[in-house]
């Protein structure tokens, strides 16, 4: 909200400067120019005070925004009329106002302001020329104004759609985070109620399966029961891990150690599946505050997902890099430094519509395998450390890439 107010204020301040400069430049042909300059200055100053002091909920109302921009058009028209010359130098103020409507991300307002600007500009030209203007440039400016208004409307629509998509992604991520947190809280309660019955079922199934007078088909069914019980226990353990995430220890750690530990754990699986590993940029220190065990488990979950995506072998690349982000105009602000762990595989890839879905709890593309909680747990761990995970893939059969982003200390 605060950023939006400052954006509105800066735009209005720039427009005020432009109008006052134009007016002052034409003062020699303006009757009673000191008085009219004072009136224009007071009105524009009042609008700046309104933008600075009004509640943000007022400024977000479409009616207030519409009145605000139409007022800017009126002030521009008064400036043009008082200067007695609807020339191209004063005409650009209409472009400024129409361009400013893009800040509201409202296409209707852009065209409404363009319509009002056209009518007022035409009326001003008629009054100054005492009839239809003979200047051909005047008739060229009118279609230019509407072309510019249409272009501004297209930019408004695209920026609004992009922002809405980003907000929707953030909302879905937040929903998944809250869902995982709730699962973690109830995991301990569910565990002691389910663990004992599952153990009993598995033991009895194993005992029955070893009896000689049991038919062969029934023995196969009993073995399947044991496998499904083990799968249930795996899911239960994942739920318990989610609950443990909420009890994170904050210690000093180095991401290089976490990466090496996770790679050491999956080394037998890499050899078993004939996967070539390429570990890069693990020599630079990457110190931060967090839980070393949980961070290792998050990296391990992403590595495990990559291995399962390459059942017939492939290539796995793991990298670590330090990224400094600071806009060129933010001279005084300290740059934000992050560490990014890149995990890329040449596996089956991810469908575009599943790039966000894969982080949902219990979502899995492996029929009969996996708990669907590995990536969810990894995202929850990274989120608890103030970071994020971004997945990318060009589609099925093109491999996948995961970026685990951690803020540095």
Query: What confidence category does residue 210 fall into, taking pLDDT thresholds of 50, 70 and 90?
Result: confident
Work out the mean pLDDT of the chain and round it to a whole number: 77
Pick the most confident of 113-117, 132-136, 293-297.
293-297
Q: pTM of the prediction?
A: 0.51
Antiparallel, parallel or unpaired: β 314-325 and 275-280: parallel
Tell me whether residue 276 is in a domain. yes
Q: Which among 268, 286, 290 has a CA at the least distance from the CA of 277?
A: 268
Tell me whether residue 185 is in a domain. yes
Residue 199 has pLDDT above 70, yes or no: yes
Query: What confidence category does residue 97 fall into, taking pLDDT thresholds of 50, 70 and 90?
Result: confident
Residue 268 has pLDDT above 70, yes or no: yes
Q: What is the pLDDT of residue 2?
A: 44
Residue 300 has pLDDT above 90, yes or no: yes
Domain final residue pick, 195, 216, 245: 245
Cα–Cα distance for residue pair 313/275, rounded to 1 Å? 5
Tell me whether residue 266 is in a domain. yes
Q: Answer yes or no: do 286 and 181 share one domain.
A: no
Q: Are 289 and 255 within 8 A, CB to CB?
A: no
Tell me whether residue 162 is in a domain. no
Q: Answer yes or no: do 200 and 341 share one domain.
A: no
The mean per-residue pLDDT over the stretch 366-391 comes to 78
Tell me whether residue 380 is in a domain. yes
Q: What is the pLDDT of residue 329?
A: 41
Q: What is the pLDDT of residue 261?
A: 92
pLDDT over 90 percentage in the chain = 12
Residue 330 has pLDDT above 50, yes or no: no
Looking at per-residue confidence, does 241 or 69 come out higher? Answer: 69
The mean per-residue pLDDT over the stretch 304-315 comes to 90
Cα–Cα distance for residue pair 19/40, rounded to 1 Å? 9
- Which tens digit of pLDDT belongs to each residue from 118-164? 777 777 767 665 556 666 666 667 776 677 777 677 777 777 777 77
Q: Answer yes or no: do 257 and 401 share one domain.
A: yes
- Give the bridge partners for 390, in sequence order: 403
Query: What confidence category does residue 303 fall into, taking pLDDT thresholds of 50, 70 and 90?
Result: very high
Q: Which phi and psi (to 5°) does residue 348 adopt?
A: -75, -10
Q: Answer yes or no: do 241 and 256 share one domain.
A: no
- Residue 191: give the domain boundaries: 174-245
Q: Answer yes or no: do 257 and 236 share one domain.
A: no
Q: Answer yes or no: do 255 and 388 share one domain.
A: yes
State the burial class of residue 171 (Cβ atoms within 10 Å of its Cβ: 0-12, 13-18, 19+). Answer: exposed
Tell me whether residue 166 is in a domain. no
Q: Answer yes or no: do 286 and 354 share one domain.
A: yes
Residue 400 has pLDDT above 80, yes or no: yes
Query: What confidence category does residue 328 fall into, taking pLDDT thresholds of 50, 70 and 90?
Result: very low
Tell me whether residue 156 is in a domain. no
Domain final residue pick, 103, 134, 165: 134
**Alpha-carbon distances of 212 from 192, 200, 204, 241, rounded to whole Å:** 34, 21, 15, 40
Q: What is the pLDDT of residue 331?
A: 45
Q: What is the pLDDT of residue 184?
A: 62
Q: Answer yes or no: do 256 and 396 share one domain.
A: yes
Domain final residue pick, 245, 269, 286: 245
The mean per-residue pLDDT over the stretch 202-218 comes to 81
Looking at per-residue confidence, does 292 or 22 come out higher? Answer: 292
Q: What is the pLDDT of residue 332?
A: 47
The mean per-residue pLDDT over the stretch 386-397 comes to 88
Query: What confidence category does residue 265 fall into, taking pLDDT thresholds of 50, 70 and 90?
Result: very high
Residue 315 has pLDDT above 90, yes or no: yes
Cα–Cα distance for residue pair 229/221, rounded to 1 Å? 12
Domain count, the chain: 3
Residue 75 has pLDDT above 70, yes or no: yes
Q: Answer yes or no: do 255 and 229 share one domain.
A: no
Q: Answer yes or no: do 70 and 93 share one domain.
A: yes
Tell me whether residue 144 is in a domain. no
The mean per-residue pLDDT over the stretch 177-197 comes to 68
Residue 290 has pLDDT above 80, yes or no: yes
Cα–Cα distance for residue pair 108/106, rounded to 1 Å? 6
Q: Answer yes or no: do 191 and 261 share one domain.
A: no
Residue burial 31-70, b: 16+ Cβ < 10 Å; e: rest: eebeebbeebeeebeebeebbeeeeeeebeeeeebbebbb
Q: Answer yes or no: do 228 and 272 share one domain.
A: no
């Amino acid at each position: 909200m605060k950023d939006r107010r400052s954006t509105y204020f800066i735009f209005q301040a720039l427009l005020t400067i432009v109008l006052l400069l134009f007016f002052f430049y034409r003062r020699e042909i303006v009757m009673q120019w000191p008085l009219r300059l004072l009136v224009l200055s007071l009105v524009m100053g009042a609008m700046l005070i309104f933008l600075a002091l009004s509640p943000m909920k007022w400024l977000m109302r479409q009616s207030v925004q519409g009145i605000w921009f139409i007022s800017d058009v009126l002030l521009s028209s008064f400036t043009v009329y008082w200067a007695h010359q609807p020339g191209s130098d004063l005409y650009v103020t209409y472009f400024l106002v129409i361009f400013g409507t893009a800040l509201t991300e409202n296409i209707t307002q852009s065209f409404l302001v363009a319509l009002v600007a056209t009518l007022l500009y035409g009326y001003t030209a008629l009054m100054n020329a005492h009839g239809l203007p003979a200047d051909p440039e005047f008739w060229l400016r009118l279609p230019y104004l509407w072309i510019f208004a249409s272009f501004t409307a297209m930019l408004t629509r695209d920026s609004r759609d992009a922002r809405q998509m980003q907000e929707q992604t953030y909302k879905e991520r937040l929903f998944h985070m809250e869902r995982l947190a709730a699962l973690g809280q109830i995991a301990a309660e569910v565990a002691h109620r389910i663990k004992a019955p599952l153990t009993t079922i598995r033991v009895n199934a194993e005992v029955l399966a070893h009896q000689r007078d049991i038919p062969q088909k029934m023995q196969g069914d009993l073995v399947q029961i044991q496998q499904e019980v083990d799968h249930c226990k795996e899911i239960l353990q994942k739920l318990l891990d989610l609950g443990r995430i909420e009890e994170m220890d904050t210690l000093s750690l180095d991401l290089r150690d976490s990466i090496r530990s996770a790679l050491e754990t999956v080394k037998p699986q890499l050899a078993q599946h004939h996967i070539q590993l390429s570990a890069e940029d693990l020599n630079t220190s990457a110190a931060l505050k967090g839980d070393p065990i949980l961070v290792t488990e998050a990296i391990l979950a992403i590595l495990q997902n990559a291995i399962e995506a390459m059942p017939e072998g492939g290539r796995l690349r793991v990298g670590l890099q330090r990224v400094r982000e600071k806009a060129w105009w933010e001279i005084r602000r300290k740059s934000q430094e992050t560490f990014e762990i890149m995990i890329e595989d040449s596996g089956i890839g991810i469908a575009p519509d599943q790039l966000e879905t894969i982080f949902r709890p219990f979502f899995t593309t492996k029929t009969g395998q996996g708990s669907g909680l590995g990536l969810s747990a990894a995202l929850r761990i990274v989120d608890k450390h103030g970071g994020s995970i971004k997945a990318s893939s060009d589609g099925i059969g093109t491999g996948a890439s995961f970026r685990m982003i951690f803020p540095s200390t």
